[in-house]
Amino acid sequence: MDTSELVSCVETATLAPSLHNSQPWRFRLTGDVVEVYADRDRQLDVLDPDGRELLVSVGAAVFTLRLALRRAGRIPEVTVLPDAGRPDLVAAIRPGPVAQPSPAVVELADAIEHRHTNRQPFLPKVVPADVIDELRVAADREGTALTIAGAASRTVITGLGREAERRLRARNGYRAEMGRWTRPAPRRDGVPAAAYGPWDALERLPMRDFGLVHAPRQRKSEVFEKWPTIAVLSTGGDSPADWVGAGQSLQRVLLVATRRHLATTPISQPVEIPGIREVLTDQRAGRFAQMVIRLGYGPPAPASPRRPITEVLSAPHTGNGGTP
């Protein structure tokens, strides 16, 4: 595989979702290996003091890179956290054997460019059982579990989400951190006003209030769906490797959903308050909650910007040859 093809796969990987669009990743090409690093300067210290969501975000980029390589006709060979002495080296990925991508791989990879976090109200339309099954299988293939909330747990989870949002706002530094990641354009990271979505008029859903600090002049209030489809993504353990695995799984689930024309919103407030995350976790059953996902059918959502490849990739030909 030549360098320009590898660079193009890395560029695709940067389309992965990340907490507040922080894009906390760096890539380095060494020979034909792509090293994926966590960029700790981009960690959200107030919201994510343990760096769990940072590694979930980098994990999402790792999955996207794997899929881009599959689309380019190579089977990726991935080592997660290959060097205990370098904990920020999250993965080393080598393009392995040549293999023609199947139509399913191409379809899933084509969803990468179309997946955007959707914070609009969704239609009152049921997600069919076969689609739900596909999402569960997607999570399972990445060694995680996706649990779709029944009527009672849906009410509990949305309630926990609202309570988490309330507690987060009271956390020292929350507003300032939110302000830093929602500063108005021009910029290539953070959440742009066009992606905030409207207020939930009835305040039923735990939609994150990205307009808390830099409120758009005209923010509409709309009624959100009464019976949202809510899923919880869980892992068997709660180590950094599990967080990277959760990110890979999250992105696979989001892409399968996108391919099936579903709109998606990752909702992480309930897993950002330890006491609330505990309620969603069943340690004895080996289910650590990593993310809540809202699924449904909605209007199109805008793309959020990404930093240019020259900012995130160190490679001989970009002139950024150094260690990230």
Ligand X SMILES: Cc1cc2nc3c(=O)[nH]c(=O)nc-3n(C[C@H](O)[C@H](O)[C@H](O)COP(=O)(O)O)c2cc1C
Site of interaction with ligand X (CB under 6 A): 17-21, 53, 56-57, 60, 116-117, 119, 191, 208, 265-269, 304
Say how far residue 311 (Cα) sits from the centre of its chain.
20
* Minimum CB distance to ligand X, residue 86 (Å): 22
The whole-angstrom separation of Cα 270 and Cα 280 is 8
Sign of the C-alpha dihedral computed for residues 208, 214, 216 and 219 taken in this order:
positive
Q: Are 165 and 209 in contact (CB under 8 A)?
A: yes
Q: How far separated are the first and last CA of the chain, in Å rounded?
A: 23
Give residue number: closest CB to ligand X.
Answer: 17
* Minimum CB distance to ligand X, residue 208 (Å): 4
| Beta carbon nearer to ligand X, 73 or 211 | 211
| Beta carbon nearer to ligand X, 114 or 260 | 114
* Minimum CB distance to ligand X, residue 63 (Å): 11
The whole-angstrom separation of Cα 269 and Cα 258 is 23
* Minimum CB distance to ligand X, residue 185 (Å): 14
* Minimum CB distance to ligand X, residue 100 (Å): 29
Q: Are 313 and 142 in contact (CB under 8 A)?
A: no
Q: Are 56 and 14 in contact (CB under 8 A)?
A: no
Sign of the C-alpha dihedral computed for residues 264, 41, 37 and 171 taken in this order:
negative
The whole-angstrom separation of Cα 224 and Cα 124 is 9
* Minimum CB distance to ligand X, residue 164 (Å): 9
* Minimum CB distance to ligand X, residue 131 (Å): 20
* Minimum CB distance to ligand X, residue 62 (Å): 12
The whole-angstrom separation of Cα 87 and Cα 84 is 6
| Beta carbon nearer to ligand X, 253 or 313 | 253
Burial 230-242 (b: 16+ CB within 10 A, else e): bbbbbbeebebeb
The whole-angstrom separation of Cα 319 and Cα 249 is 33
Q: Are 51 and 40 in contact (CB under 8 A)?
A: yes
| Beta carbon nearer to ligand X, 55 or 92 | 55
Question: Which residue type, as a one-letter code, is found at position 180?
Answer: R
* Integer angstrom CA distances of residue 82 from 79, 90, 192: 6, 7, 35
- Residue 32 CB neighbour total at 10 angstroms: 14
| Beta carbon nearer to ligand X, 94 or 180 | 180
